[in-house]
Amino acid sequence: MILKCDNCEIKFKRKPSDVRGQKNVYCSKACVQDALSKDKTLNGNYRGGKFVECCVCKNLHYRTPCLLKRANYFCSMKCHGSWRSLNLIGEKALNYKGDKIKSACPQCGKRFVRYKQVHCSHKCSLESRGSLSVKLECTGCGKTFSRPPSQIKWSKLRGANGKDFFCSNGCFGKSHRGSNHSKWIKDRSGVKLIHKNIRGSVRMKEWQLSIIKRDNNTCQVCNSTTGKMIAHHIRRFHDFPKLRFLMKNGATVCIDCHELTKGHEEDFEQRYWQDRFHVNT
């Protein structure tokens, strides 16, 4: 069956079943799209609408019936923004709340339009409360840096002398090494030798065996009975010399649990000294 395209008027062949019930026939999809762009009524789902002119650039663009109810038409967000910047100003602005009386900033004296704020800017607000950052000189490297007064206040409350301030953790660490450290000991050889002799003494060996025997060779943390057991001092060997050979100051632990106590001696002491033995020394 030979037909004529309603858009480009070119003759083409189609089966009768392909064009049955159609008012318009087209030779290709390009012709269909071209015809729909010229006349929207050709679309079976057409519900109204028309081409309108943009209020800014005057370009023609299609608008659906719901968008035709608006007073102004724009082809893009750019045109919409340009129109708003020129027309929706002052009393016409969407967030306009009426004229406000200009008042002077109590900090700098500048006059500004006041709504709810007291100061003209965030900087003036901080200055009025004394919250602006204070310039300090690093004790370690001499570099100038800033810190808010709240940090300086809390550093003094935590025990700092209020004179030494550091720009970074690196400078703080370098300034607290060697002889500047609070627990600095010039000659540790004597201290290490004394501790080594005590730990290797016969009395300490007997104390360790007594602790393990008392606990039936059972770890007091995980209740394990296999593997090597260690007699652990509940209160530290170095800090409490009078409790080194006290039976109630020992607890049997396995090797794995003994590694977990390192760095957590205070937690271990609170658990086994106060709760289990109820001894205050």
- 220 by Cβ neighbours in 10 Å (0-12 / 13-18 / 19+) ranks as buried
Q: Same structural domain for residues 127 and 138?
A: no
Q: Phi and psi (nearest 5°) for 180?
A: -80, -10
Q: Is residue 183 part of a domain?
A: no
* Residue that is last in its domain, among 116, 149, 177: 177
User: What is the residue-averaged pLDDT of the chain?
Assistant: 80
Q: Same structural domain for residues 20 and 37?
A: yes
Write down the pLDDT at residue 9.
81
Q: Same structural domain for residues 33 and 75?
A: no
Q: Is residue 185 part of a domain?
A: no
Q: Same structural domain for residues 36 and 63?
A: no
Write down the pLDDT at residue 161.
63
Per-residue CA distances from 273 to 68, 238, 246, 252, 262 (Å)? 83, 16, 12, 13, 17
Considering 21-25, 89-93, 229-233, the range whose residues carry the highest mean pLDDT is 229-233
pLDDT digits (tens, 9 = 90+) for 242-253: 888 888 888 899
Q: Same structural domain for residues 196 and 248?
A: yes
Tell me the percentage of the chain whose pLDDT exceeds 70: 84
**What's the rounded mean pLDDT across residues 136-155?**
82
Write down the pLDDT at residue 281.
42
107 against 47, higher pLDDT: 107
Q: Same structural domain for residues 245 and 214?
A: yes
**What's the rounded mean pLDDT across residues 18-32?**
80
Write down the pLDDT at residue 206.
92
A 10 A CB-CB count for 235 gives: 22
Q: Same structural domain for residues 229 and 246?
A: yes
Write down the pLDDT at residue 79.
92
Residues 157 and 42: their CA atoms lie apart, in Å, by 81
CB 57 within 8 A of CB 39: no
Write down the pLDDT at residue 165.
81
Cross-strand partners of 60: 53
Q: Is the pLDDT of residue 257 over 60?
A: yes
Written as one string, the DSSP assignment of 73-88 is: --SSHHHHHHHHHHHS
Residues 214 and 100: their CA atoms lie apart, in Å, by 84
What is the pTM for the complete model shown? 0.33
**What's the rounded mean pLDDT across residues 214-225?**
89
For the chain, how long is the longest CA-to-CA vector?
117
Write down the pLDDT at residue 93.
75
Q: Is the pLDDT of residue 210 over 90?
A: yes
Q: Is residue 31 part of a domain?
A: yes
Q: Is residue 233 part of a domain?
A: yes
Residues 171 and 140: their CA atoms lie apart, in Å, by 5
Domain range for 68 is: 50-90
Write down the pLDDT at residue 158.
62
Q: Same structural domain for residues 216 and 206?
A: yes
Domain count, the chain: 5
Q: What pLDDT band is residue 209 in, cutting at 50, 70 and 90?
A: very high
Q: Is residue 186 part of a domain?
A: no
pLDDT digits (tens, 9 = 90+) for 157-199: 665 566 778 888 888 888 888 887 777 777 666 666 677 788 8
Q: Same structural domain for residues 231 and 254?
A: yes
